[in-house]
Amino acid sequence: MVQVDTRAIGTSALHFPRLLPRRGRLPGLLVVLVLAAIAVPLGRLVPVVGGPVFGIVLGVLVGVAFPRARAEVFRPGIDFASKNLLQVSIVVLGTGLSLQQVAQVGLSSLPVMLGTLGLALGGAWVFGRLLGVRGDTQILIGVGTAICGGSAIAAATAAIGAKRSSVAYALATIFTFNVVAVLTFPPLGHLLNLSPEAFGLWAGTAINDTSSVVAAGYAYSQEAGDQAIVVKLTRSLTLIPIVLTLVALKIRRENRAARALDVPGASYDGATASTRGPLPWRKLVPLFLIGFIAAAGLRSAGAVPDAWLPTLSLIGTCLITAALVAIGLSLRPQELRDAGPRPLVLGAILWALVAVGSLVLQSFS
CA 223 from chain center: how many Å?
Answer: 27
In a domain, 167, yes or no: yes
* Structure-derived torsion over alpha carbons of residues 271, 246, 87, 257, reported in degrees to the nearest 10: 40
Single pTM value for the model: 0.66
How crowded is the C-beta side of 111, counted as CA atoms within 13 Å?
8
| 207/194 Cα distance (integer angstroms) | 16
In a domain, 359, yes or no: yes
Enter the DSSP assignment of 109: G
In a domain, 302, yes or no: yes
In a domain, 201, yes or no: yes
| 196/202 Cα distance (integer angstroms) | 10
| 99/237 Cα distance (integer angstroms) | 9
| 86/8 Cα distance (integer angstroms) | 14
With a CB cutoff of 8 Å and minimum separation 6, the contacts of 360 are none
* Three-state SS at 10: coil
In a domain, 7, yes or no: no
Query: Number of H helices and number of E strands within the chain?
Result: 18, 2
In a domain, 164, yes or no: yes
| 75/24 Cα distance (integer angstroms) | 9
| Furthest C-alpha separation in the chain | 67
In a domain, 177, yes or no: yes
Number of domains in the chain: 1
In a domain, 242, yes or no: yes
Ordered per-residue pLDDT tens for the chain, 365 residues: 333 333 344 443 444 444 445 667 888 899 999 999 999 999 888 876 778 878 888 988 888 887 766 667 888 888 888 778 877 887 887 787 777 766 766 566 788 988 999 999 999 999 999 998 888 888 999 998 888 777 788 888 878 888 877 888 888 888 788 878 877 899 999 899 999 999 999 998 998 877 678 778 887 887 888 788 778 877 877 888 888 888 888 888 777 777 776 545 444 444 433 334 444 445 555 677 688 788 888 888 888 888 888 898 889 889 888 988 887 887 766 666 666 788 889 989 999 999 999 999 988 86
Under a CB-based contact definition with an 8 Å cutoff, are residues 72 and 184 in contact? no
Residue 106, domain extent: 98-259+278-319+335-364
